[in-house]
A and B are shown apart, each in its own frame.
Chain A
Amino acid sequence: MSNYGHTHAQANAFDIYGMGSYLAVPPSYGQLESSSHNTLTIEGASQQRNPIHEARILKTDLKKEYAYIAGDATNSYPSSIGLDRWYRHVAYLPPNIFVMVDELKSSRISNSDLPTKWQLNYLPESVTTIDSFNHVITISNQGFLKTNILYPIPTSYENKRLSWAARQVIARFDNIFGTGKENQIVTVLSVLENNTAQAPQVRLVKGET
């Protein structure tokens, strides 16, 4: 969860290896900007590639039942977008499920047309499908990574080539701060042995505030 290494801007990024293959991957050499990593573009803004804009780990909680980690990448984005918070909460539920909540807060309600993008890279030899009705992204290699986007409903999806070593799926959210200063992106990522394996049933839960 750092933007220090190789001066890649990759705060709060993640990779997933499972069932014998890399499923969520970094973009390889030469792709330094955060738009090329498994992180967020927030209202059109990428992370600033400078150690003074370093991220930090807020909390870890490692138990037999789950592993939880929260990263704070608020400081990685330019002050011009008025971002007050981006905490990425990740819970790993063994053996194969990750729940991810991106907690976002802005200093202002915004009518910006610039998109917020949830980014997921995969190897070129993987096959990726996007179910834009059920909001499920499936990356198929030796294993399968099924991503359910539970909240909010993406405006659109994009699937593009990043480099010789990676392609990228983008779930795009327009006006993420259009109705309030706070919003969250809730996703569940499940690693499956094959495409016929029983995918977990998932649903959004609104906790106490």
Chain B
Amino acid sequence: MMGAEIDDGKVSRAAVFFLNSGKENRYISAQF
């Protein structure tokens, strides 16, 4: 799936991924 990568100038980088494997294990991964 798609998501967005964000750089707001305060937090160095924040990436959000929405992963859809087609199974029930949907999850979000946020990296800072």
Contact = CB atoms under 8 A, between A and B. Distances in A.
Of A58, A70, A99, A202, most buried by chain B (CB within 10 Å of CB) is A99
Interface in B1-32: 1-9, 11, 14-22, 26-28, 30, 32
Nearest to A101: B18
Interface stretch (A7-15, A19-27, A47-55, A60-68): A60-68
Contacts of A61: 27-28
A50 to B, nearest CB: 27
A125 interface: no
B2 A186 contact: yes
A202 B20 contact: no
A207 B6 contact: no
Given A99-B4, A99-B6, A207 B18 contact: yes
Place the interface of chain A in its size category: 20 to 34
Chain A binding surface, main DSSP class:
strand
Secondary structure at the B interface, as helix, strand, loop or mixed, is strand
A150 to B, nearest CB: 6
B4 A202 contact: yes
Given A198-B9, A202-B4, A209-B21, A58 B26 contact: yes
Contacts of B1: 101, 103, 184, 206-207, 209
Given A66-B28, A89-B28, A205-B16, A200 B2 contact: no
Interface of B: 1-9, 11, 14-22, 26-28, 30, 32
29 contacts: A59-B26, A61-B27, A65-B32, A66-B16, A66-B28, A68-B28, A91-B30, A93-B11, A150-B2, A150-B4, A151-B2, A184-B1, A186-B2, A186-B4, A198-B8, A200-B9, A201-B6, A203-B4, A204-B3, A205-B2, A205-B4, A205-B16, A205-B17, A206-B2, A207-B1, A207-B3, A208-B21, A209-B20, A209-B22
Given A99-B4, A190-B8, 12 more contacts: A61-B27, A65-B32, A87-B26, A89-B18, A91-B16, A93-B16, A198-B9, A200-B7, A201-B7, A202-B5, A205-B4, A205-B17
